[in-house]
Chain A
Amino acid sequence: MAFVPYRPLAGCYSLILDGVGWRNVERTSEQAEQQEQAPEPYAAASDMPPQLMGPTLPVAPELAVLGERRELRIAGVLITGRRRRPSGEKAPLPRELSFGGRAWLGAGLLMILVWLSLFAAPATTSWWTQRDLTILDWMVDLRTEAGISTAKFFNWFTSEGVIRFLRIGSLVALAVVRRWRHFFAVLFAIAVVEISIEQLQDSIGRIRPTVEILGTWDGPSHPSAPIASLSVTAMAMSLSLVAKGKWRAIAMWSAGVIVGVAAISRMYLGIDHPTDGFVSTLFAPAVAFVLFRWFAPNSIFPVTWSTGVKAHLDVSGSRGVAIRRAVQEQIGVEVIDVEPFNLEESGGSTPLRIRVAGTDGTGDTYLFAKLYSQTHLNSDRWYKIGRSILYGALEDEVRFTSVRRFVEYEDYIQRVMVGCGVPTARPIAVVEITPEREYLLVNEFLHDAAEITAAKVTERMMDDALRAIRLMWDNGLAHRDIKPSNVMVHHGKLVLIDVAFGMIRPSPWRQAVDLANMMLLLALKSDVEAVYERALLHFAPTDIAEAFAATRSVTIPAQTRTLLAEHKRQTGIDIVEEFQDITPFREAIAIQRWSSQRIFRTAIAASIVGVVVFQIYSEIRGTGVL
């Protein structure tokens, strides 16, 4: 069965139709030439001459018997032998609660049952109080001078000073290594627990034990606030400061012992009822555990002591095995190795290089893949909220509702770009790792590609780059992230990568910004006049004027801004100003547009910043939740 070649989309124009009318004939012929030169994005393997077939990748043995398969050749990789996962079979990386997760879930349910029985009816409340007091009476009978001194020592761990010291120390350590995810997770967990405990105490209003109390206390008895404070602090420290594994287990067990002994000590001193401490020892760590799992999961934000760690999934262990299996089964290639690739260039996904086995003695070859998870989706949401605050209604920043949608969109926009002839890496497949939670977007791998700023920028290169923007303009597209790390030179040809932010029918402003950002990149490696001259072959002077009228500091990616600043420092030339001087005058395009949603989001963001600042201020004054 032959694979049907992927043709350019019907909606993509093969000619430049901008209505400007200038040099229409010349540009039309250029475009036509380009179309002739452009390679077919996809080709049926069976249609290819044998000498261009490249290595044939072996089908995994267990797949070989599955009958006739489609054959597809992309970037030197022959893809065949895919396997459909039958109904009922587990996904490559099924989502299952670990033993720890099940234990915490059970503890949470137990705590809810205790609560319900504690406070649902006077009869059960009385029953619990009588049981509590029976235990406390027994402990009071056991009191000795030495026992009281020991209990007071362990109760000291629940004192404000100790807890404050532990919390501030942890936060300072996290701030020093710039692990902000963990920093805010700790802060968030502490705030949630403290506020919840305070609310519960007020709502329940339980009195202190009616035995002789030998220590200080503050407020209602249930749940025990000091035990909760110590528990959440210990759990947050274990999850944020200690790497997963043996040492974290040791840290957690040690913390558990200290918290447990402190809780028993407070009972011995008659400060808390047994159920007060019991509920706190379950509730507070559970909250921390859940918040960390949601906000800073270890699989994505592992605890390391190096700085600048971004949100990347750990592809070793079970996930690595699952990726290999998934790629093997769903694409039909034999995976030799999976490794992170250029992590520092990516914050929104986990980029991978997948080595696949070659045959016919041609050696192994590679695929490029981006691993997306729920956390990346969350990051994308925050990113979009940030952009909507920054730019207002100019950008369509509707968030994706699921990882699947996120990946589907990127795959789609990539295919649209390829279909329209925009030079970009060709997508191969979407691979399911965990349904609805983790997907792998597999592309061709650009061997020996370099950023445009590391390559020699010739007039031809300029034309390629500007033509790519022109193609996007003419097809109603925008890349929205034109920066050095996304404009690559591959075997002498320009390729745009990372089209995840690409948009169909973007605002004219956004398209203008794409042009300006591309021209800035080109000017960094040549000069403003030369770039402007080449740009006039593809764009009207008014187009270029619009591009630089739309350019602001916030519209230029940080990576480009850094290079521009460096260029200015070395040469004294401000490239942006030079372009604005050389282009026809146009009033600056206002990018700050206000809508009710933007005002609302800005107000919320300002409030959060205010709360954080207030919290830090309160902490310094010694009155905060820490």
Chain B
Amino acid sequence: MKQIAAAVMSLLVLLSACSRLGLGEQSCEPHVRVPTAANILAAQSVPTARYTPCFVTIDPGWDHVEFEAESGRAGIAIVEGTDTFLAAIVTESCDVGDAIRRDSGVPDVERYEDVTHIPSLITVAVVPASAQQLSYAIGLIDLWQAVELDERPVRLDLDDDTAADISTRLAAAAMRSDFVWFIDELDAAELTVELRTVGGQNFSRITPAEALDQIEDLAPSPVYEGNWFFRFEGGCITYVFNAEKRMADAAPIAAEENLGFYPAFELRERTDRANR
């Protein structure tokens, strides 16, 4: 049960403030107001760590935030429903594995990312076989551009380079979009499309509405899973993402905008001074 020290400390955290690290912003002092017990406990959990995670702002739309601290590990988490879609955990070290290095924007912090992102936006490339089907394709885009599938927006992109080789165009469309609507002469005459998926499935002579139904079934669920690692002197902060559906797009934004690092050394020293 000890791990249940995952205390719901919304009030404490709401009072907290911390600096935003990365993305070019280095200064933290102006944001530091009154450190809370949550901040200090996090700083105490990994005494060697230069930074400790904290909330820059609390989004009022979140269900609640949680705080957890124990020796060697501390973290904050954003919970939607019963799932934690984003957590920031400080430890003494971390294994970045095959994560890709990114620029942290801070000289003494190394940033790595190892994530899988399937956005909620579904892209469909509309590829008319020739110029004769162009007007039908434009009509389809006008008609279906605002459609949403299972609360996911759909964007239809027109490939109007009808002079190019069709196989090259289809390959390119498949590369940049989730689905392809191929339209030949007969489709234009019968008001149908050929739906092509990235996986190689084809559905010929189906209406655009049927094609959208298929897309709704076949489109992979939006997700943002994986880790961001921030390595620095004496510690590592890992952002753990486990966001699905509508949170898949929100998670990385929340991580950038709402989470930050607190200068832990300074916090520990300040607390010690205040208590003696």
Q: Is A194 close to B, CB under 8 A?
A: yes
Whether the Cβ atoms of A205 and B37 lie closer than 8 Å is: yes
Number of residues in A with C-beta < 8 Å to the partner? 27
Whether the Cβ atoms of A218 and B37 lie closer than 8 Å is: no
Q: Is B79 close to A, CB under 8 A?
A: no
Whether the Cβ atoms of B1 and A207 lie closer than 8 Å is: no
Q: Is B206 close to A, CB under 8 A?
A: no
Whether the Cβ atoms of B1 and A205 lie closer than 8 Å is: no
Q: Is A625 close to B, CB under 8 A?
A: yes
CB contacts (< 8 Å) of A624 on chain B: these are: 1
Query: Which residues from 610 to 626 on chain A have a C-beta closer than 8 Å to any C-beta of chain B?
Result: 623-626
Whether the Cβ atoms of B44 and A208 lie closer than 8 Å is: yes
Number of residues in B with C-beta < 8 Å to the partner? 26
**Nearest residue in B to A226 (C-beta to C-beta)?**
B2
Give CA–CA (A495, B25) in the complex, Å. Answer: 93
The minimal Cβ–Cβ distance linking B115 to chain A, given in whole angstroms, is: 29
CB contacts (< 8 Å) of B5 on chain A: these are: 198, 201, 218-220, 225
Give CA–CA (A208, B38) in the complex, Å. Answer: 11
Query: Which residues from 10 to 69 on chain B have a C-beta closer than 8 Å to any C-beta of chain A?
Result: 12, 36-38, 40-41, 44, 47, 68-69
On whether A623 and B1 interact (CB within 8 A), knowing A205-B9, A205-B37, the answer reads yes
CB contacts (< 8 Å) of B8 on chain A: these are: 202
Whether the Cβ atoms of A210 and B69 lie closer than 8 Å is: no
Query: Which residues from 122 to 159 on chain A have a C-beta closer than 8 Å to any C-beta of chain B?
Result: 126, 129-130, 133
Q: Is A160 close to B, CB under 8 A?
A: yes
- Contact partner of B268 among A202, A210, A218, CB < 8 A? A210
Q: Is B202 close to A, CB under 8 A?
A: no
**Nearest residue in B to A202 (C-beta to C-beta)?**
B7
On whether A194 and B1 interact (CB within 8 A), knowing A130-B275, A130-B276, A210-B272, the answer reads yes
Whether the Cβ atoms of A207 and B271 lie closer than 8 Å is: yes
- Contact partner of A213 among B40, B69, B71, B272, CB < 8 A? B71
On whether A219 and B69 interact (CB within 8 A), knowing A202-B7, A210-B268, the answer reads yes
CB contacts (< 8 Å) of B40 on chain A: these are: 207
Whether the Cβ atoms of B38 and A198 lie closer than 8 Å is: no
CB contacts (< 8 Å) of B72 on chain A: these are: 216
Whether the Cβ atoms of A216 and B71 lie closer than 8 Å is: yes
Whether the Cβ atoms of A210 and B271 lie closer than 8 Å is: yes
Give CA–CA (A225, B3) in the complex, Å. Answer: 12
CB contacts (< 8 Å) of B3 on chain A: these are: 218, 623
Whether the Cβ atoms of B271 and A215 lie closer than 8 Å is: no
Give CA–CA (A112, B70) in the complex, Å. Answer: 27
The minimal Cβ–Cβ distance linking B72 to chain A, given in whole angstroms, is: 7
Q: Is A217 close to B, CB under 8 A?
A: yes
Q: Is A206 close to B, CB under 8 A?
A: yes
CB contacts (< 8 Å) of B44 on chain A: these are: 207-208, 210, 213
**Nearest residue in B to A126 (C-beta to C-beta)?**
B275
CB contacts (< 8 Å) of A129 on chain B: these are: 275
Give CA–CA (A625, B69) in the complex, Å. Answer: 19
On whether A220 and B41 interact (CB within 8 A), knowing A129-B275, A201-B5, A210-B272, the answer reads yes
Give CA–CA (A216, B4) in the complex, Å. Answer: 15
The minimal Cβ–Cβ distance linking A152 to chain B, given in whole angstroms, is: 13
Most buried by A among B12, B47, B68, B275: B275
**Nearest residue in A to B2 (C-beta to C-beta)?**
A218
Whether the Cβ atoms of A207 and B276 lie closer than 8 Å is: no
Give CA–CA (A130, B274) in the complex, Å. Answer: 10
Whether the Cβ atoms of B268 and A217 lie closer than 8 Å is: no
CB contacts (< 8 Å) of B70 on chain A: these are: 216-219
CB contacts (< 8 Å) of A220 on chain B: these are: 5, 7, 37, 41, 69
Give CA–CA (A198, B276) in the complex, Å. Answer: 27
CB contacts (< 8 Å) of B275 on chain A: these are: 126, 129-130, 133, 210
CB contacts (< 8 Å) of A216 on chain B: these are: 70-72
Give CA–CA (A213, B71) in the complex, Å. Answer: 9
Give CA–CA (A220, B272) in the complex, Å. Answer: 16
User: A322-350 toward B: CB 8 Å interface, digit per residue (1/0)?
Assistant: 00000000000000000000000000000
CB contacts (< 8 Å) of B4 on chain A: these are: 198
Most buried by B among A216, A218, A624: A218
> What are 6 A-to-B residue pairs whose CB atoms are below 8 Å?
A207-B41, A210-B44, A210-B271, A213-B44, A218-B3, A218-B70
Query: A residues engaging B (CB < 8 A)?
Result: 126, 129-130, 133, 160, 194, 198, 201-202, 205-208, 210, 212-213, 215-220, 225, 623-626
Given contacts A210-B271, A220-B37, 14 further A-B contacts (CB under 8 A): A133-B276, A198-B1, A198-B7, A205-B12, A205-B36, A205-B37, A213-B71, A215-B71, A218-B2, A218-B5, A219-B2, A220-B5, A225-B2, A626-B1
